[in-house]
Structure 1
Amino acid sequence: MISYCLRRLALGLVMLVALSILIFILLRLAPGDPVDAYINPSVAISQEQMAAIRSRLGLDQPWPIQYLAWAKAALHGDLGYSIQYNGAEVLDLILQRIGPTILLMGTGIAIAIAIGIPTGVLSAVKRNSPSDFALSVTAFIGISSPAFLSALVGLYLFSVLLRWAPSGGMLTPGEPFSVLDLLHHLILPALLLSIGHTALIMRYMRASLLEVLHQDYVRTARAKGVRERWVIVKHALRNALLPVVTLIGSTMGIAIGGAIFTESVFNWPGMGLLMVNAVDARDYPVIMGATLFIGACVILVNLLTDLTYATIDPRIQVSG
């Protein structure tokens, strides 16, 4: 297990380096000059002053040297300084915003698991029944609904028309902090974020359980007179959960993408809103630092997902 963890960590580091190179190249290939973000458009500036700013930022160096300088600083926890936030450290901005994003994503994924697994089991047990058909149609609708569309429709329906939930923010401005107020603001964006993941988990759970229910050991348990409920819960469910765990870990990047749209629509003060504002302001240090940080989190989650396999299914032997 230790050897496997070390190999996975090494692979994760390679992926992180590749991601950092890709981020750097894509931002350098983006239209426009990075120096423009540092200049007030209403103030005239000479070419000499432009060259001085470019030299101070190191943008007059070849790309490989620029990348190595940025990567070296990132290794020491220095992700640069924000342009739009008056020179605030990018790492501090990320640490301030990561909490709300984890809260939103964690709640959304928890809702998806809590709803998706039971409904997937019900759909498999009641195969080809009206309830299975209704759940399947609902799942296909959920899978086909983009995160931004679900967020916009949900905002209009539940906040504007029905006024059941706040239309944005994490807390009520001017009011003292309370858990109930936080939950009141959290529940709608978390539910909307969970729609696609709930549908995916339900379909994977259904397909996996149907496959397991046709295995020999399940038929043997039934032949021994074991109750159908215990056959499903004790013998089939644990083995059927493995693809679902794989799904949850592998779609973490999709969850982050959905969180970006959801945070933007609901003005949720997390990493998604930070990145959207950074792109709008062409705040290159924040874009690069936040993307690198999110990539590291996704790689870490995938590693933890791989290590969870052996816990759920002891038949799996951890190997290269």
Structure 2
Amino acid sequence: MLRYIASRAGTGLFLLLALSVLIFIMLRLTPGDPIDAYINPTIPIGAADLAALRERLGLDQPLPVQYFAWLAAALSGDFGYSIQRGGVPVLPLVLSRVGPTVLLMFTAIAISIVVGVSAGIISAVRKNKASDVGLSIVSFLGVSSPAFLTGLLGLYAFSVLLRWFPSGGMLTPGRPYSSLDLLYHLILPATLLSIAQGALIMRYMRGSLLEVLSQDYVRTARAKGVREFWVVVKHAVRNALLPVITLIGSTIGGAIGGAIFIESVFNWPGMGLLMINAVTSRDYSVIMCATLLTGASVILVNLLTDIAYAAVDPRIRNA
């Protein structure tokens, strides 16, 4: 098991390094000059001053030299400074946005797991019944709806038309902090973020449970007179959950991608909103740090998912 964990962790570190190279190159290949982000367009600057600034920032060096200089600084915890925010250190800025995003994402994931697994069980047990058909239609709509579309439609329906939930923010301005106020602002964006993941979990759970229910040991349990409820709950659901565990881990990546859109729609002060503002203002240091932290989170969650799956099924770690 330890050898399996070490192998997966090594793969994760390699992927993180490859991600840093890819993002660094892509940022340098974007249209425009990185030096433009450091210059006030309303103030004239001479060629000598421009060259001096480029030298001071290391932008006059070859691209590999620039990358390894950045990597050495990043390994020591120095991710540079935010241009958009007047020289604020990047790492504390990014870390300050982790909490709201984690709260939004894991609330959405908890909703998607509970609703998706429950709906998948109901759909499988009542195969080809009206409830199965209805849940299947809803799941197909959920899987095919991108986060920005569900976010905009949900905002318009529940905040603008019905006025059931606030249209944005994490807390009500001018009011003292309250857990109920936070929950009131959290329910709608978290629910909308959970739709795609919940629909996908429901489809996998339904298919996996239908396959398990056709196995010989399930038919044997029924032949022995075991009540159908216990056949499903005690014998079938546990084994049907095995492939769903892996899927739940992979939904973290989808939740992160969806959170970027949901946070921008609802002005939720998390990593997604920070990254969008950084991209629009060409704040390269913030983009690099936020992207790497996001990638590291996805890799870590997938590693934990692989470990959990290997613990449940020893054949995985012995393969």
Q: What TM-score do the two structures reach when normalised by structure 2?
A: 0.98
Preserved CA contact (<8 Å) 2:12 2:299? yes
Unmatched runs of 5 consecutive residues or more in structure 2: none
Preserved CA contact (<8 Å) 1:309 1:316? no
Preserved CA contact (<8 Å) 2:309 2:316? no
Preserved CA contact (<8 Å) 2:107 2:190? yes
Report the equivalent of 1:294.
Answer: 294
How many percent of aligned residue pairs carry the same amino acid?
68
Q: CA deviation at 1:228?
A: 1.3
Q: CA deviation at 1:114?
A: 1.0
Q: Report the AA paired with residue 43 of structure 2.
A: V
Q: CA deviation at 1:224?
A: 2.1
Unmatched runs of 5 consecutive residues or more in structure 1: none
Paired residues, number: 319
Report the equivalent of 1:111.
Answer: 111
Alignment partner of 1:10 is 2:13: no
Alignment partner of 1:38 is 2:15: no
Q: CA deviation at 1:310?
A: 3.6
Could you tell me how far apart the structure 2 residues matched to 1:137 and 1:307 are? Answer: 34
Q: Report the AA paired with residue 52 of structure 1.
A: A
Q: Report the AA paired with residue 29 of structure 2.
A: L
Could you tell me how far apart the structure 2 residues matched to 1:251 and 1:299 are? Answer: 12
SS in 1 for 2:88: coil
Could you tell me how far apart the structure 1 residues matched to 2:171 and 2:85 are? Answer: 22
Could you tell me how far apart the structure 2 residues matched to 1:89 and 1:2 are? Answer: 37
Where in structure 2 are the equivalents of 1:178-257 lying within 5 Å? Answer: 178-257=178-257
Q: Report the AA paired with residue 122 of structure 2.
A: L
Question: Runs of 4 or more off by more than 4 Å in structure 1?
Answer: none
Alignment partner of 1:319 is 2:284: no
SS in 2 for 1:251: helix
Q: CA deviation at 1:319?
A: 2.9
Q: What TM-score do the two structures reach when normalised by structure 1?
A: 0.98
Deviations 1:76-126 (A, max 9, x none): 111111111111111101110000000000000101111110110000000
Could you tell me how far apart the structure 1 residues matched to 2:50 and 2:156 are? Answer: 46
Could you tell me how far apart the structure 1 residues matched to 2:46 and 2:318 are? Answer: 61
Q: CA deviation at 1:213?
A: 0.8
Q: CA deviation at 1:316?
A: 3.8
Preserved CA contact (<8 Å) 2:204 2:244? yes
Q: CA deviation at 1:6?
A: 0.7
SS in 2 for 1:58: coil
Q: How large is the RMSD of aligned CA atoms in angstroms?
A: 1.1
Alignment partner of 1:261 is 2:261: yes
SS in 1 for 2:97: helix
Q: Report the AA paired with residue 127 of structure 1.
A: K
Preserved CA contact (<8 Å) 1:105 1:256? yes
Q: Report the AA paired with residue 175 of structure 1.
A: R
